[in-house]
Amino acid sequence: MSVLRPREAIEEIEASTLAPYAQRSAAGRGRLHPQDAHHWRTEYQRDVSRIIHSAAFRRLEYKTQVFLNGTGDHYRTRLTHTMEVASISRTLARALGLNEDLAEAVALAHDLGHSPFGHSGEETLDRLLKDHGGFDHNDQSLRVVTLLESPYDEFDGLNLTFEVLEGVQKHASERSAPGIGSYACASLEGQIADLADEIAYYSHDLQDGLEAGLILAGSLHQVELCAMLAAEHGLDLDTAEARSTRHNLARILSNRLIHGVLTESAGRIAASGVQSADDVRRHPDLLIGYSPSLEEQTKELRSFLYANLYFHPQVAGANQRACDMMAAVFGAYLQDPRRIGREATRRVPNCGLYRAAGDYIAGMTDRYLLREHGRIFSHA
């Protein structure tokens, strides 16, 4: 007997080990453009590969998470953030008996549409496109995988499965998601990737903020969740500037959030009585989530991070200068559309110059945009 496991064997293992409400790859709705099944991989494994091998994924390495890309080699980038989200997604999915490959695929794709320069870049693009549909990174992630990435001759997009698109869709508007259909909720795997994103950035943005010296550990006394965890684990926040403490705090925080999500979600799933992945979709409420008390605590942490990190003058100032360059480059494209790339030019007849220029800029890495600004505006 062969020791190799063809796809059918892997699907059988899935069917016998996953919880009934997990999304089985063999029970998926397929792809917009039908393709033959792969010999060794399930459909979600294929989607993971398609995403990882896309140019948009590789560019995440040079896109800002919080700190402008290149300002410090130890800070998270959009790529390392994405890998942390995928890792947390797999942990949550495995513990709940869900499909890890699907959760991982959604996590890997979730930020593909992020513009350069993080949230400031997103706000800038939204402003530049305000009379042309605006800009939202969730919408854009869907646009990247369904249109902008085009490795195939026969069609645009990565032709991902319905279930991965459904997970990426998240809050994306109908405008960007024709044909996906509307359900009350995404699969549990999609819900997991959404929450894993939050867990990752709460803990790693806090750690990066402490590393950068923009957040002082002593100020975390005012954040109930941090103060509580520090007390439980014997961390003295007032003398907590040591590197090990920063690591410990991030680790303890993500552990707590993961643990909290698992226990709360397990309870909600059991109480809901869902028996299939489609029961989950029809269920009126999300089944993956924090307990009400943990939800309150994470909201407080979020507000703290907004007030003390994301809008810290040192972060916001650098990002603002970069965003001014983004706006200038955008203006230059409107003035002379020949400057936008060949692929973007091809899309102008369908989506107009504003959207094509927005897509082109959204796809850029931080450093590419800075160089493009130099090319256009240095008249030396």
Q: Which is nearer to Mg ion, 112 or 240 (CB)?
A: 112
Dist. CA 11–CA 32, nearest whole Å: 21
Q: Which two tokens stand for residue 325?
A: 């360059």
111 binds Mg ion (CB under 5 A): yes
Q: Which is nearer to Mg ion, 109 or 230 (CB)?
A: 109
Q: Which is nearer to Mg ion, 139 or 197 (CB)?
A: 197
Q: Which is nearer to Mg ion, 42 or 298 (CB)?
A: 298
Q: Indicate the helix (H) or strand (E) that contains 74.
A: none
Residue from 107, 114, 80, 79 nearest 93 by CA: 107
104 binds Mg ion (CB under 5 A): no
SS3 content of the chain, % helix, strand, coil (to 5): 65, 0, 30
Residue 257 CB, nearest approach to Mg ion (Å): 15
366 binds Mg ion (CB under 5 A): no
CA contacts within 13 A on the Cβ side of 274: 27
R_g (Cα) of the chain, nearest Å: 22
47 binds Mg ion (CB under 5 A): no
84 binds Mg ion (CB under 5 A): no
Q: Which is nearer to Mg ion, 235 or 288 (CB)?
A: 288
Residue 65 CB, nearest approach to Mg ion (Å): 8
189 binds Mg ion (CB under 5 A): no
Dist. CA 22–CA 342, nearest whole Å: 42
Q: Which two tokens stand for residue 215?
A: 């957040």
Residue 33 CB, nearest approach to Mg ion (Å): 28
372 binds Mg ion (CB under 5 A): no
197 binds Mg ion (CB under 5 A): yes
Residue 244 CB, nearest approach to Mg ion (Å): 27
Residue 107 CB, nearest approach to Mg ion (Å): 9
208 binds Mg ion (CB under 5 A): no
Q: What part of residues 265-324 is at the interface with Mg ion (CB under 5 A)?
A: none
Residue 31 forms beta bridges with which residues?
A: 161
Cβ neighbours of residue 55 under 8 Å, at least 6 residues apart?
Answer: 149
Cα–Cα separations (whole angstroms), residue 63 to 50, 56, 146: 20, 11, 21
Amino acid in the structure at residue 78: R
Q: Which is nearer to Mg ion, 109 or 225 (CB)?
A: 109
CA 77 to chain centre: 12
Are 222 and 171 spatial neighbours (Cβ–Cβ below 8 Å)? no
Residue 228 CB, nearest approach to Mg ion (Å): 26
Q: Which is nearer to Mg ion, 7 or 110 (CB)?
A: 110
Residue 196 CB, nearest approach to Mg ion (Å): 9
Q: Considering CB under 5 A, how many residues would be counted as binding Mg ion?
A: 2
Which residues form the interface with Mg ion (CB under 5 A)? 111, 197
